[in-house]
């Protein structure tokens, strides 16, 4: 019952976010930035999977991880290529630069995976949820990109791979941990929720501190600026001309 309710809640949240996603992907500069950001995340995921392949003693898993790593590297190249193509058609470079955008974190960007710290079953549970989230999010972005067919095609291709990753990580998790896979999935889910909460809290803290500084700027600075201007008017600073009498008296002295 609980998973069904959680699924329905997530579906409701995603439906409410759909207009927001449409707006986010409408702007070409922002679209380019996000694709370049996704490219970084995918390449990072590929490196994690190579590390996981090096560490596992299970030959079947090693083959899966290596193939998965190749897929993630290809995704990185697809995103980078499309992001760069969008940047080239912009009349001028985007002003806001090349920064992360928390509205659409993409695959594993949220999670900062440390392969060495996880047992292989916990790693598979983690990967399964990340791939599931990526497949769902990328399908959603594809659906709001009717105005940009090349970018939509990139997502279309990547979503197919993410669905495969989601399925193989689940079947391998059940194989290596037939008794505990559900518990591992719940633990991984709670870990993701906690990291999501931290991410939101950091964003909120940033917003609140910006608001406080803006209020202080407009309430505390104007009185100081006023008094500084007034005293500058009363007592002009800098070099002042010397009168002729004072000049003559100085000449006599020296």
Q: Which residues bind Fe ion (CB under 5 A)?
A: 42, 72, 75, 131, 162, 165
183 Cβ contact partners less than 8 Å away, ≥ 6 residues apart: none
Q: Is 72 exposed, middle or buried (0-12, 13-18, 19+ CB in 10 A)?
A: buried
Percentages (nearest 5) of helix, strand, coil residues in the chain: 80, 0, 20
Shorter beta-carbon distance to Fe ion: residue 31 or 75: 75
Shorter beta-carbon distance to Fe ion: residue 42 or 48: 42
Least distance in Å: CB of 135 to Fe ion?
8
Report which of 163, 158, 137, 193 is spatially closest to residue 18, judged by C-alpha positions. Answer: 137
Shorter beta-carbon distance to Fe ion: residue 121 or 162: 162
Helices marked H in 56-180: 59-89, 120-143, 149-176
Q: Are 109 and 100 in contact (CB under 8 A)?
A: yes
Least distance in Å: CB of 130 to Fe ion?
7
Least distance in Å: CB of 21 to Fe ion?
18
Shorter beta-carbon distance to Fe ion: residue 19 or 83: 83
Shorter beta-carbon distance to Fe ion: residue 122 or 134: 134
Least distance in Å: CB of 152 to Fe ion?
16
Shorter beta-carbon distance to Fe ion: residue 29 or 153: 153
Least distance in Å: CB of 220 to Fe ion?
49
Q: Is 135 exposed, middle or buried (0-12, 13-18, 19+ CB in 10 A)?
A: buried
Task: Quote the CA–CA distance of 187 and 181 in Å, as a whole number.
Answer: 10
Q: Are 159 and 138 in contact (CB under 8 A)?
A: yes
Scan for tokens 């406080």, then name that residue: 212
Residue 62: φ, ψ to 5°: -60, -45
Least distance in Å: CB of 10 to Fe ion?
19
């Amino acid at each position: 019952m609980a998973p069904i309710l959680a699924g329905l809640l997530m579906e409701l949240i995603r439906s409410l976010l759909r207009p927001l996603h449409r707006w986010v992907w409408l702007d070409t500069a922002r679209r380019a930035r996000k694709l370049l950001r996704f490219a970084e995340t995918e390449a990072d995921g590929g490196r994690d999977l190579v590390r996981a392949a090096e560490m596992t003693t299970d030959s079947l898993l090693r083959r899966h991880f290596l193939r998965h790593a190749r897929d993630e590297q290809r995704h990185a190249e697809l995103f980078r290529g499309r992001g760069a193509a969008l940047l080239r058609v912009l009349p001028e470079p985007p002003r806001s630069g090349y920064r992360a955008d928390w509205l659409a974190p993409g695959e594993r960007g949220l999670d900062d995976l440390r392969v060495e710290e996880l047992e292989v079953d916990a790693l598979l549970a983690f990967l399964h949820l990340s791939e599931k989230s990526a497949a769902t999010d990328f399908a959603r972005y594809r659906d709001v990109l009717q105005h940009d067919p090349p970018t939509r095609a990139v997502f279309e291709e990547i979503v197919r791979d993410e669905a495969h990753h989601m399925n193989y990580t689940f079947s391998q998790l059940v194989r290596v941990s037939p008794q505990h896979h559900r518990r591992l999935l719940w633990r991984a889910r709670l870990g993701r929720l906690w990291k999501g909460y931290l991410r939101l809290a950091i964003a909120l803290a940033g917003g609140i501190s910006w608001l406080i500084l803006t209020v202080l700027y407009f309430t505390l600075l104007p009185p100081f600026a006023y008094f500084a201007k007034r005293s500058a008017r009363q007592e002009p600073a800098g070099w002042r001309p010397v009168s002729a009498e004072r000049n003559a008296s100085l000449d006599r002295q020296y």
